[in-house]
Every structure is written in C-alpha cells, then in structure tokens.
Amino acid sequence: MRFGPVAPDEAEGAVLAHSQKVGGTTFKKGRILSADDVTALKEAGFQEVIVAQYGPDDVPEDEAARELATALCGPGIRAGESFTGRANLFADADGVLEIDRHRLDHINIVDEAVTLATLEPFSRVHAAQMVATVKIIPFAAPRESLRLALKRAGEPGPLLHLHAFRPHKAGLVATRLPDTKESVLDKTRGVLDERLAGMGSEIAREIRCGHDEREVSAAVSELLADGLSPILVFGASATVDRRDVVPAGIELSGGEIEHFGMPVDPGNLLLLAAHGQTPVIGLPGCARSPKLNGFDWVLARILAGLRVEPKDIMLMGGGGLLKEIATRPQPRAGNPRKSAGSAPKIAAIILAAGKSTRMGAVNKLTEEVDGDPMVARAADAALTAGVSKIVVVTGHERDKVEAALGARDVGVIENPEYDQGLSTSLKAGIAALPDAVDGAVVLLGDMPDVTAAHIDRLIAAFDPEEGRAICVPTWEGKRGNPVLWGAEYFEEIQGLTGDTGAKQLFATHAEEIAEVPMPDDATLKDIDLMTSLEARRRKAQGHE
C-alpha cells in the first residue's frame, strides 16, 4: 500500500487519509475518491491530497476485518458489520466466554496491521454484549498477513466460545453454631438466591444443620438424592483446612475434595469438591456479600456447563485481586466510606472519662507507668499504629487528663455525661469521627501494656467483605480489648445505653466477629486497683 500526498489527478480510486472540507461539503476520512470527487478537489484549489492507494497484495480494511471476524465466530458468537476497518463480535446469550489465548496471541503477532482484542478469558457476559473486536490498523492489510491470521483462526476448536448458562437446581447446606442467628442465614440465602438467579438458576432446597461433619454429610447426601446440582455448603465457621468440618462432612458423604483455596481475594478459602459428576462447593465467607469474589468465577463456569479443575483455580491469580477496584463493575455498590484501592482508614477512640472510683482518691489515668501517664501510653500506642485519626474522650478531671497527654497529636473531646456510663463516652467518640473512616478501634485508657503491635494486628485482620467487620483480640481463648468496629455499626452503637460499652452487640453480630490471637496477655489486663498498679510497677522494676 502506498501512502502519502498525490495530485488530485492521481487520486481517483484512492482512500482519503484525512477529512477535508471541499467547497460546501466535507469529504470524510476513508472515502474512496471518485472521478467527481477529483473534479471537486481541483475546483476547490487542492494541489495535493493525502491518500492510501491499494497495491495488488492489499486487502481493504473492511473486507479484511469482515473475513477475520467471520472466521472467529465460534459457538454463541456472531460478527457485526465491518466499518472503518473494525468488526465487532457479540455474545448471543448470557454465559461465560472461553478464549484460546495461545491462538489469540499468535494472531496479534502476525502483523501490526491486524489486531484482535477480547474480554478476559472466562468473563461472564450478557446477550448482545461485545466480547471482541477486530481492527485493521491501516487502510488495508497485507494479503499474506491476513492469510496467516485466518489460518490461526481456523485451527481445530473455536478461538472464541460462548458457553451459555444452563438452568440448574442447586442445593444449599447452611451450618449453624449455637449462637448463629436465623436472620444471618436468611440474609446469606437471599444473596445466594440473587447470585444464581442472575445466571438462570435457583436454589431448589436448603438444609440447615449443626456445624458437625456427620450432619453436613447427611445434608449433602439428602440433596444429592434429590438430584440437585451443584451442592453449595456454607459453614457457620470458615473452613481453614482440608480436614475441617465442611470438607470432612463432604468426604463422609462419599465426595472427594479436589482443591482447597484459590489465588483470588476475596475468595481465598473456597473449597472445590465433587460427588461423582456433581460439583460440591464449600463457600468462602465473602459469598455472604453480593460483591464480586472468587466464588462468582467458579460458580459461573459451573452454571455454564464447564468443568472446573484444580489447575483452573490455581491459574486464577492474574487479575485475582478483586477487592477495592473502583473501575470494575460490582453487582451492588459497596461501603461508600472506603477509599478504592487503598488500605482501610481506621480511627482510634481512647476512652478516658471514667472516675477511677476503685482506685481511691487518685485518677489512675494520670498515674505514671514506666515514666509516662497511663493515658499517654494509650495515646502513644495509637500514634505509632496505622490509624488515621485519634480521638481521646475525657470527662472526670478533664483538665488533668488533657495535661497528661501533653503535646501529643490527638483530638480531645469532652463527654459531659460521662457519669451515666461507658456507652456515653463511646457514643461521643463515634460522633467525633470524620465520615471517611472505615472503622474505629476502641481503646481503654487503663490498659498500659497494649501497644501499636496489638492495634496493627486488629487492623490487619479487618476485612468486612470477608466477614471480619468486628475484630476482637484474644489470648488463650479469652477475649479482651481493644476492639475494632467497622463503620457499619456506628449507627447501632449510637443507640447504646448503660456502662457495658459496645460488647452488648457481640451476640447480635456473632457472624461478623473475627477473633485475633495476640502474642501476649496485654489485651486482657486493665488496671482498676492501686494494688494492681503497684504490682505492675514492681514488675517493671524487676522486683517480681
């Protein structure tokens, strides 16, 4: 193909390279110039015009795009009309797009003039959605390059294959612990119903049972006997090992564990199993959320009739970071507080308003521990940890407590109702937080051995999408303080009363609690008595 400026008399039959204003009309880019066009150009005073002129070995762009797009149409794929060197390909139905990536790459390295762009392999698509586009970059493709591209497209097996969703009647096993609320299971069921309905399937039967391998086995067997497929198993407690309750129950029913875990986040703890030809999936905790997660990828393939092998899951890591990607469409909007693509913004609330009545005449928060006032140690721990904002709530002897904090970079607010209970200070702290935080860790001012490392462990565990919206420290099975609360609970906290703080919400939200093991017992030890403080000092001085 020749490209460049020519005199109008030499331009007949050539392709106009750039749009031109010719008299009272516009000749657009790509126009095949006729004899009348040449006359109009000359009358308009053009001395030359930039054109592309085909040679004997050139295939015009639209013809080349049409030929290649037609050759690429595998099952469920249709090609649209070609124009300006482009031909788009569309899905005929809702389903999953399978792509032969090896052949796709070979087409794209044949020649710079010939390009093929597609969606990600195994993308979930909708009927009439564009799934690929062929674009001939210049005004013509070399005939030999097109021949090679067509040869690749015509090799055995479709390069593009739309696997349409097939209606399935699935079975669901939902286990429960003694404190599991039916409302939590109902909510999970609702999310799963919507997930399957969007792919043309339904949960035909649900069995709720105890979180016990024998009960799981019986439930799976019963759903298999009903002919349901796939079988989904949602454990009340996350599966953490191939020998945990859910996989043990599946194996006891006669099933086989094929793979545990996946390089997709959220979705790491997915369990893939099979009972004969029936897929059995142990769901990760993130399946409670309607947001995109690894379970969606596996479920979509199964409902489209594709066999999911362990290797398929192992190869999902590229693109497997799904959380907090602002440009990726989600089934529903997520937490608007959270900054996309960033770590969660966690604030710290230090409760320092109490009267210290059990300590006697002194205010324990201003008493020194290892050279610093007790409340200042709490502030220093928060300042060193990964928090974005610190609020200290004062009340009793406000001036003394504030003086004990010195020049530390913390916000101090007063709770005039501190004598009405701990909940009033907690509510005051929550009300003082900026809107753009994802959660808050609530520290007690009388726990001088809690450090930044303890706080950072809680923050590292915090992940509402994975069901870890309330993070509680533990030592040898005992729960302590501080506690990290997700912002979704702030409104509920504002309705608390009395002197027990937010722990009264634990029973209501048991499923969202993550117990975070700590390296020592610091999160269990507060100082209420002068004898405790003196013992702490003696220990620090090496006298005990």
Q: H or E element: which one contains 105? A: helix 101-108
- Is residue 461 pLDDT above 70, yes or no? yes
- Is residue 326 pLDDT above 50, yes or no? no
Measured CA to CA, the distance from residue 390 to residue 440 in angstroms comes to 9
Same domain, 180 and 261: yes
Sign of CA pseudo-dihedral 194, 200, 205, 208? negative
Does the residue 18 lie in any domain?
yes
- Is residue 449 pLDDT above 90, yes or no? yes
Region 451-471: mean pLDDT is 89
CA 142 to chain centre: 44
- Give per-residue burial for 529-538: e unless 16+ CB within 10 Å, then b: ebebbeebee
Region 421-428: mean pLDDT is 93
Measured CA to CA, the distance from residue 306 to residue 465 in angstroms comes to 27
Residue 94: the pLDDT is 97
Per-residue pLDDT band at 391 (split at 50, 70, 90):
very high
Does the residue 337 lie in any domain?
no
* pLDDT tens, position by position, 140-174: 999 999 999 999 999 999 999 999 999 999 999 99
* pLDDT tens, position by position, 257-296: 999 999 999 999 999 999 999 999 999 999 988 999 999 9
Does the residue 319 lie in any domain?
no
Same domain, 106 and 194: no
User: With left for phi above 0 and alpha for psi between -120 and 50, is residue 261 left, alpha or beta?
Assistant: left
Same domain, 38 and 177: no
Three-state secondary structure call for residue 497: coil
Q: Which residue type is seen at 207?
A: I
Same domain, 159 and 174: no
DSSP annotation of 341: T
Residue 464: the pLDDT is 85
- Is residue 334 pLDDT above 60, yes or no? no
**Residues contacting 387, CB < 8 A, separation 6+:** 346, 347, 348, 441, 455, 459
Same domain, 379 and 501: yes
CATH assignment at residue 49: 3.90.105
Q: Please list the residues that pair with 20 across neighbouring strands.
A: 27
- Is residue 327 pLDDT above 50, yes or no? no
Per-residue pLDDT band at 342 (split at 50, 70, 90):
low
Residue 486: the pLDDT is 95
Same domain, 262 and 230: yes
Contact 261, 269 (CB under 8 A): yes
CA 379 to chain centre: 33
- Is residue 541 pLDDT above 90, yes or no? no
Residue 529: the pLDDT is 82
Measured CA to CA, the distance from residue 229 to residue 166 in angstroms comes to 12
Q: Please list the residues that pair with 517 across neighbouring strands.
A: 474
* pLDDT tens, position by position, 188-246: 999 999 999 999 999 999 999 999 999 999 999 999 999 999 999 999 998 999 999 99
Structure tokens at 127: 């009927």
Structural domain harbouring 518: 346-524
CATH assignment at residue 421: 3.90.550.10
Per-residue pLDDT band at 543 (split at 50, 70, 90):
low
Same domain, 272 and 296: yes
Q: How many CA atoms lie within 13 A of 378 on its CB side?
A: 32
CATH assignment at residue 227: 3.40.980.10
Angle (CA) 483-485-486 rounded to 5° is 155
DSSP annotation of 411: E
- Is residue 540 pLDDT above 80, yes or no? no
Residue 355: the pLDDT is 83
Where are the strands (E) in 54-155, listed by range?
58-60, 77-83, 86-91, 95-99, 114-118, 123-125, 130-136, 140-142
Residues in the chain: 544
- Is residue 341 pLDDT above 60, yes or no? no
- Is residue 28 pLDDT above 90, yes or no? no
Does the residue 396 lie in any domain?
yes
Measured CA to CA, the distance from residue 518 to residue 400 in angstroms comes to 32
* Bigger pLDDT: 261 vs 466: 261
Same domain, 296 and 424: no
Q: How many domains does the chain divide into?
A: 4
Residue 544: the pLDDT is 55
* pLDDT tens, position by position, 478-537: 999 999 999 999 999 999 887 777 888 988 888 788 889 999 999 999 888 887 787 777
Closest to 64 measured CA to CA, from 88, 43, 47, 87: 87
Question: Per-residue DSSP letters for 178-246?
Answer: TT--HHHHHHHHHHHHHHHHTTT-EEEEEEEEESSHHHHHHHHHHHHHTT--SEEEE-SS---STTSHH
- Is residue 332 pLDDT above 50, yes or no? no
Residue 24: the pLDDT is 82
* pLDDT tens, position by position, 115-145: 999 999 999 999 999 999 999 999 999 999 9
Q: What is the mean pLDDT of the chain?
A: 91
Same domain, 364 and 490: yes
Distances (CA, A) of 26 to 13, 35, 44, 61: 18, 16, 12, 22
Residue 538: the pLDDT is 74
| Domain end marker among 112, 133, 164 | 164
Same domain, 15 and 85: no
Residue 208: the pLDDT is 98
Contact 454, 380 (CB under 8 A): no
Same domain, 160 and 173: no
Measured CA to CA, the distance from residue 171 to residue 232 in angstroms comes to 6
CA 276 to chain centre: 32
Closest to 64 measured CA to CA, from 12, 8, 126, 114: 114
Q: H or E element: which one contains 491? A: helix 490-493
pTM: 0.71
Per-residue pLDDT band at 330 (split at 50, 70, 90):
very low
- 3-state SS of the chain: helix, strand, coil percent to 5? 35, 25, 40
